[in-house]
Copies of this chain bind each other. A is one copy, B any other.
Amino acid sequence: MAGPATYFSPAHAEALDPATRDLVQRRARVLGSAYRLFYDEPVRLVRGSGTKVYDADGVEYLDAYNNVPSVGHSHPRVTAAMTHQAGLITTHTRYLSEGIVAYAEDLLSTLPERIDNIMFTCTGSEANDLALRIAKLVTGGEGVIVTANAYHGVTTEVAAISPSLGGVESVAEWTRVVRAPGTDVDLGEAVAAAVSELEAFGIRTAALIVDTVFASDGVYPDLPGLDRAVAAVRAAGGLFIADEVQPGFGRLGHGMWGFDRYGIVPDLVTVGKPMGNGQPIAAVMAPHALIDRFNERSRYFNTFGGSSVSIAAAQATLDVLRDERLIENARDVGGYLLGSLRATGLFTEVRGAGLFIGAQLESADRAVAAVNALRERRVLLSASGAGNDSLKIRPPLPFSRDDADRLLTELEAVLR
């Protein structure tokens, strides 16, 4: 990722209070160098409720960032469902269970009819990894096309299609990275060119995979050309994988899925992060014909994938999403926030849909300074985009108009 980071630097440890410094140092000794903390002054969260989180001193923060606790931090219905199930039994899918079948039916009913099978995993990384395995095996192809600053996860296979992790030079030789979005390059033309280039190298196209809100590319909810990109890939015998790990489950305020905005029916759909409101559950969904062809050739069993407590959490999360009308709230408050952010005149560009907004500033320096200043004013968010110059606003879905006003007030204070 280009530009200055929004992460804590160990060089600043001396500026911390003794208790925080001690914990930071103990943490570094055992968790090691991979574990980075947000902010110049890390936050120690001990409690949360709805859109608010609280640190060890009881200080309240407005959470404008976390998409995993999607129906609100520590939602009592999700906690109750997990507690109830954990008190009964937690098992894997080699035994019969009503819960997983009912949840699968419920979730699949929100997708196009063609997509009628689901396979559970624990993380979005595992889901994308499995989707690629299926696509490669079914198509007989190997080539995968992704966007400029794509992020699809951290297994070996999906890290190899994630230029956001280590730059374009870090991806696999069978990966093609198109210079869209965030440039003048048209996605449809770029993907068609990538298919041709793969063919020129003797590599058959297995899949185009995109995060349908292009989150790590800087948030682009309505990118022109996705339909033509999908058509070019299908014409070459490849499949379209909609990575709904970030946009899915209603965050965009319009239906359940990011691909709904485009009128495209994907071949494979992956979901994760908000699915269990924090419980590790994710999935791949696809037409049964694709799943059958994969299973004729390969075996797949995920010990924790679809285990009882994870399913209970996922069902409760889906129920709350509907009962509390959180998609409607995302549309309403997201629309209000988007309009208000644009009206401030403080941003180069404000892109977004529902409660997924990228508010671009002049530079990464300015974005990172704003992120840290907001944290001091008790509002949590982060930066995003290839240039790390966009504020990433992606709160729990119960975010209210009052929450939006508080965010706007603090943003104005920090940026003016």
Contacts and interface: CB of A to CB of B under 8 A. Distances in A.
Nearest to A35: B93
A157 B157 contact: yes
A119 to B, nearest CB: 6
Q: Which 3 pairs of residues, A with B, have the shortest CB-CB distance?
A: A90-B278, A280-B304, A156-B157
Nearest to A97: B44
Contact of A165 (B20, B32, B119, B299): B299
Given A23-B98, A44-B97, 12 more contacts: A31-B118, A32-B295, A34-B291, A34-B294, A38-B95, A74-B86, A123-B126, A124-B303, A155-B156, A170-B298, A278-B307, A280-B281
B123 A299 contact: no
Contact of A155 (B38, B95, B126): B126
Most buried by B among A32, A79, A104: A32
Most buried by B among A48, A86, A87, A291: A86
Most buried by B among A24, A123, A155, A159: A155
A91 interface: yes
A33 B155 CA distance: 24
Contact of A34 (B34, B48, B73, B301): B301
A309 B93 contact: no
Contact of A86 (B20, B82, B298): B82
A37 interface: yes
B129 A94 contact: no
Contacts of A303: 68, 123-124, 272-273
Contacts of A32: 117-119, 288, 291-292, 295
Contacts of A301: 34, 36, 154
